[in-house]
Structure 1
Amino acid sequence: MNADQVLESLGRFGTFQVLFFLCVSFIYMRGAWPVMGILFLGGDPGHHCQVPVNESISDVIPVDSSGNYEKCQIKSLLTNQTTPCSNGWTYGDEFDSTILTEWDLVCDDNFMVDLSSTIYMVGNTFGALCLTPLSDKFGRKWVILSFLWIQGAIGIATAFSSNYIMFTVLRFFIGLLNMPIALTTYVMVTEMFPASSRSFPSVGINCSWGIGLVFLAVLGYFIRDWRTLQLVISVPNFLTVTYAWFLPESIPWLIANRKFKQAKSVAKFAAKVNRKNIPSELLVVPDQEMNEAPGAGQSQEGLLNVKVTKKYTVLDLFKTSKLRRYTLIMFYLWTADSVCYFGILFATPQLHGNQFLNIGISGIVEIPALIICMFIINRIGRKRPLIFFLLLSGIMNIITIFIPTNTDSGVDLVWLQITAAMIGKFGITGAYSLSYLYSSEIFPTVVRNHAVGLSSFFENIGGISAPFIVYATSGTLTYIPLVLFGVVMVIGGTLACFLPETHKKPLPETIEEIEYGTKKSAPVTENTHL
């Protein structure tokens, strides 16, 4: 059985593929909630030192250079000296309750919310490296579903956390499972469509992430208590219990793992839904004994005289000039895409205006970026759109620092600042999606898994760094983080100019094809008699 021929016979975008895509899109969509939920779970409604009874706030709370009340200082009326808050804090009314207000994660402890986000991202990294490979052994479907249910249970437990440490540890395990769920879902989508029509669903699945951000903004707006919100974003995981009966396993995975009867059953079901007829020769189950037995007349010496294929390692990515250049550039782009994407999202609540609206808009702008990607990558290639999106994101984020909040005449320009930042978000979304596609095409087959795996590691390093970059610059101008991310993107756009175009070119199989542009078989050692 040939997986791609079977998938082609089912049609490109039939009813089966559409229903499958919608099912896995829900899984991908709710994946945005654990990652970005901390924006509301740990939201800061504003605070200042608690004012003593019978005292006026204007008498005991000093103001800063912007005319706002100091957050962590209180003035003694006896000595007229300012001291740190000693009687607790008074919080604003934007939220009913967050982990910040419940556990007083402010002033000397104001890094704790961002630390929790970073630890979550560390969980992502370990999950990607340690748990994602389980889907190769046990199948896509059951790894996704079991991880979803375990994550849902941990998410519900998180809502009942009694302290910050318990909350953060449980969030680590939520992150540990979230990245394998997302990566395996993405792989499953690419596997269930034939090669000729794979680019649309592989890019389109990311639209559901943007929709997830919009839903999160709506949920955050209407649910201002962090425990209730945590429950609401965790319970939907259990809606996938029904998937145990009707979500199919990946046909390519079944065939690759010699589960031919199951693959045949899934293919026949898909054909029935799509009202297609699969040629019977495509469903012929190979005779395993014939595949494994020596050929007729084959001598014992012939069996022992084998070619030992060269074993490739991560180090082979750096041994030749062109591949080394491509590798280093792609590692930079994955890191830059991740740190800037998540950095922009984490910085969004610091922007002026309604933070719920800002998060919602940031999710909405992802959808047109991805739709544009889906249509242009098969027309003008990958390289030029990638450069365009990187430079667009970089330039728009940099110029935010040059846009004043108000003009000299008092005209409010906050809308223009937010617009520039959202266009930057539009650009990074397109660049991020194209980097995924580029990585699957630019590396030769013999080291592709090594390259993509290591790229994912650098992607997670960027995600880990993002919250701390936002925190480290939070005491400066609001738009400093966006400027830093913009510079990183401009550098990425410049480096992308040194990458080759991969559109309409066969996937390279060997390192020699990358270096010399000639198609050679993978090197082998001398014949070895066992």
Structure 2
Amino acid sequence: MEGTYKSQEHHLYSALKILIKKSWAFKRLLATMVVGFGVGMSYYGMPLGLGNLSYNLYLSVALNALSNSLSSPILFFLIGKMKRKRSLVGWALLSGTCSVASVFVRLKEMQMVLELLSFFSIGIIYGVLMIYTLELFPTCVRNSAVSITRETVLFGGLLAPLLVALGKKNGFLSYGVFGVTISVCGLFAAWMPETKGRVLFDTMEEEERNDQEVNNSVNCA
């Protein structure tokens, strides 16, 4: 039993060492972490900040729950057709724009519509990010990469309550900051390779050979 535990612990730290040592893996991991941070701040912060809006609190909570519930089944049907990189950037910009706009709109119904659209987009981004992270890394480090990305999502959520509290006096410090953060963080997806329609690789060596072939083809072009 003790030997099994030590073996698992060694495997964990070996995967982390590989993710940090390999430059291409570290760049991908860093990009997913940045996107995950922005997702976490908005995903956990926007529902907490509903009390700062002028709309009915109970109805807005119910609508947000419905919006979040719809994002997953809709993503199930869309993910096979969506380019991962473009999807993350596009949905992030849409979410950020709607979130910032909701601060300046005075009509409470329109404010709620913008918030719902922004939160729905965050749900889509969250799902795409997890799938994208699975596709970006080979089997030997995939679990570790997904776990680290997931932790950055939670870390982003830690800062959300502080911004919600500040947003009681200035709305831009909550939904405005959420919008700017997800827009900026989402742009980091542009530095990651596209994985839709690409064969997944099981080992680091296969992944490195594939990256080298892609680089060579780009250079030749």
- TM-score w.r.t. the length of structure 2 is 0.82
Cα deviations across residues 98-143 of structure 1 (Å, max 9, x unaligned)?
Answer: xxxxxxxxxxxxxxxxxxxxxxxxxxxxxxxxxxxxxxx9xxxxxx
| Paired position in structure 2 for 1:428 | 122
Do residues 384 (structure 1) and 89 (structure 2) align? no
How far did residue 452 of structure 1 move?
Answer: 1.7
Q: Work out the CA distance in 2 between the residues paired with 1:314 and 1:355.
A: 43
Residues 482 and 446 (structure 1 numbering): CA distance in 2 closer, same or farther, change over 3 Å?
same
Q: Work out the CA distance in 2 between the residues paired with 1:475 and 1:363.
A: 22
| Paired position in structure 2 for 1:466 | 160
Q: Work out the CA distance in 1 between the residues paired with 2:186 and 2:168.
A: 29
- Pairing 1:160-171 to 2, within 5 Å after superposition: none
| Paired position in structure 2 for 1:339 | 41
Q: Work out the CA distance in 2 between the residues paired with 1:414 and 1:329.
A: 36
1:397/1:424 contact within 8 Å kept: yes
Cα deviations across residues 506-530 of structure 1 (Å, max 9, x unaligned)?
Answer: 32222333333169xxxxxxxxxxx
Q: Any unmatched runs of 5+ in structure 2?
A: 6-10, 213-221
How far did residue 493 of structure 1 move?
Answer: 2.3
Residues 354 and 338 (structure 1 numbering): CA distance in 2 closer, same or farther, change over 3 Å?
same
- Pairing 1:504-515 to 2, within 5 Å after superposition: 504-515=197-208
| Paired position in structure 1 for 2:95 | 393
| Paired position in structure 2 for 1:326 | 28
1:322/1:514 contact within 8 Å kept: no
Q: Work out the CA distance in 2 between the residues paired with 1:501 and 1:422.
A: 29
2:39/2:153 contact within 8 Å kept: yes
Kindly report the root-mean-square deviation, in angstroms, between the aligned alpha carbons of the 2 structures.
Answer: 2.3
- Pairing 1:349-498 to 2, within 5 Å after superposition: 349-403=51-105, 405=106, 413-471=107-165, 473-498=166-191
Residues 450 and 380 (structure 1 numbering): CA distance in 2 closer, same or farther, change over 3 Å?
closer
Cα deviations across residues 468-489 of structure 1 (Å, max 9, x unaligned)?
Answer: 2212x13422343111011111
Q: Work out the CA distance in 1 between the residues paired with 2:52 and 2:39.
A: 20
| Paired position in structure 2 for 1:101 | none
Choose from 207, 210, 215 the match for 1:517. 210
Point out the structure with the larger helix share.
2
How far did residue 369 of structure 1 move?
Answer: 2.9
3-state SS of 1:497 partner: helix
1:340/1:466 contact within 8 Å kept: yes
The residue type paired with residue 514 of structure 1 is: E
The residue type paired with residue 63 of structure 2 is: I
The residue type paired with residue 197 of structure 2 is: K
The residue type paired with residue 124 of structure 2 is: G
1:508/1:514 contact within 8 Å kept: yes
**Pairs aligned (count):** 202
The residue type paired with residue 377 of structure 1 is: I
Q: Work out the CA distance in 1 between the residues paired with 2:147 and 2:73.
A: 26
How far did residue 490 of structure 1 move?
Answer: 0.8
Q: Work out the CA distance in 2 between the residues paired with 1:393 and 1:513.
A: 36
2:96/2:183 contact within 8 Å kept: yes
The residue type paired with residue 208 of structure 2 is: E
Cα deviations across residues 236-285 of structure 1 (Å, max 9, x unaligned)?
Answer: xxxxxxxxxxxxxxxxxxxxxxxxxxxxxxxxxxxxxxxxxxxxxxxxxx
1:323/1:514 contact within 8 Å kept: no
2:15/2:140 contact within 8 Å kept: no
Choose from 314, 317, 321 the match for 2:16. 314
How far did residue 328 of structure 1 move?
Answer: 0.3
How far did residue 467 of structure 1 move?
Answer: 1.3
Q: Work out the CA distance in 2 between the residues paired with 1:475 and 1:382.
A: 36
| Paired position in structure 2 for 1:229 | none
The residue type paired with residue 401 of structure 1 is: V
Q: Work out the CA distance in 2 between the residues paired with 1:318 and 1:490.
A: 26
The residue type paired with residue 502 of structure 1 is: T
Residues 416 and 491 (structure 1 numbering): CA distance in 2 closer, same or farther, change over 3 Å?
same
How far did residue 322 of structure 1 move?
Answer: 1.9
Where in structure 1 do 4 or more consecutive aligned residues deviate above 3 Å?
512-516
Greater length-normalized contact order (CA 8 Å, ≥ 6 residues apart): 2
3-state SS of 2:32 partner: helix
Q: Work out the CA distance in 1 between the residues paired with 2:86 and 2:61.
A: 29
The residue type paired with residue 348 of structure 1 is: L
Residues 509 and 369 (structure 1 numbering): CA distance in 2 closer, same or farther, change over 3 Å?
same
Q: Work out the CA distance in 2 between the residues paired with 1:470 and 1:514.
A: 42
How far did residue 385 of structure 1 move?
Answer: 2.1
3-state SS of 1:489 partner: helix
3-state SS of 2:191 partner: coil
3-state SS of 1:502 partner: coil
